[in-house]
A and B are shown apart, each in its own frame.
Chain A
């Protein structure tokens, strides 16, 4: 079936997204230990990239939009990272007197 031009890229992307959904769901049942989380987030990242590029057409938008999209992500990393300096090290350094 020959898809009209406006549906081609969306359709291909959609099939890829559904395939990735199957993989991520199935992959959750594999005994990978901590890598289950890594796999799940990695596949989520790939799906997001497909949505960003194919559906949201980020790369065809003004470059300023890339900067702000990136900034949102980068600032989220700051929040996670610096909060991590507390939560990841609480049991690491002993406090004098305890």
Chain B
């Protein structure tokens, strides 16, 4: 990739050139994503442990998740990653000629993120109405009441934390879109767009794994 140094953009003092600065940013964000893997990993370990201990209970509980909303949300996130990838690619190939495409792509990404959150909110509301929120109001058959609460605790915490990450992502993507519109970037300097893109794709990957673990359990023997 050519290192075209835009006249107005110079690397920070501790760097020799923009390429080094970009490499450093790339490595930095991947190290950060590794920490996120371990962060969600603690929850996934808890899920694995309890699914092993209460296989039947988890299967029964998971049948009450909203497959249609979950699947649509998965499609929404995958599409948002598509839009994000287009935005990053367009920016790196030629920011000056593609600026409007980039802004459009990033805006679509953020909008899809908002749509995801809206559907998630609707889903939470439905689950609340069906008394699937763990606690004294939890309504389930006596046999699996305990494990079902464990399942739904993990469901709300996993998707809730994921939702927090999506929210932060929407904010980041929106900011970067606004900065692009203002002309803060050039073909030689698209690093923030790339970084935010990596974060967004990672949030998508987390959901890719959550989807089968939450929504696809016990569907074959419903």
- Give A residues with C-beta under 8 Å from B: 4-7, 9-11, 13-14, 17-18, 21, 24-25, 28-32, 36-37, 40-41, 43-44, 47-48, 51-52, 54-56, 61-62, 64-65, 68-69, 71-73, 75-76, 79-80, 83-84, 87-88
In contact, A44 and B93 (Cβ under 8 angstroms):
no
Chain B contacts for A56, CB-based, 8 A? 197-198, 201-202
**B208 proximal to A (CB < 8 A):** yes
Known: A21-B75, A40-B216. A6 touches B27 (CB 8 A): no
In contact, A65 and B41 (Cβ under 8 angstroms):
no
In contact, B48 and A80 (Cβ under 8 angstroms):
yes
Nearest-neighbour CB distance to chain B for A59, whole angstroms, equals 13
In contact, A21 and B74 (Cβ under 8 angstroms):
yes
Which residue, of B26, B82, B220, has the highest number of chain A Cβ atoms within 10 A? B82
Number of interface residues of B (CB under 8 A): 52
Nearest-neighbour CB distance to chain A for B212, whole angstroms, equals 3
Interface of B is mostly: helix
Which residue, of B36, B84, B212, has the highest number of chain A Cβ atoms within 10 A? B212
In contact, B216 and A18 (Cβ under 8 angstroms):
no
Return the contact of B220 from the options A21, A28, A55, A87 (Cβ within 8 A).
A28
Q: How far is the CA of A44 from the CA of B77 in the complex (A)?
A: 14
Chain A contacts for B36, CB-based, 8 A? 72
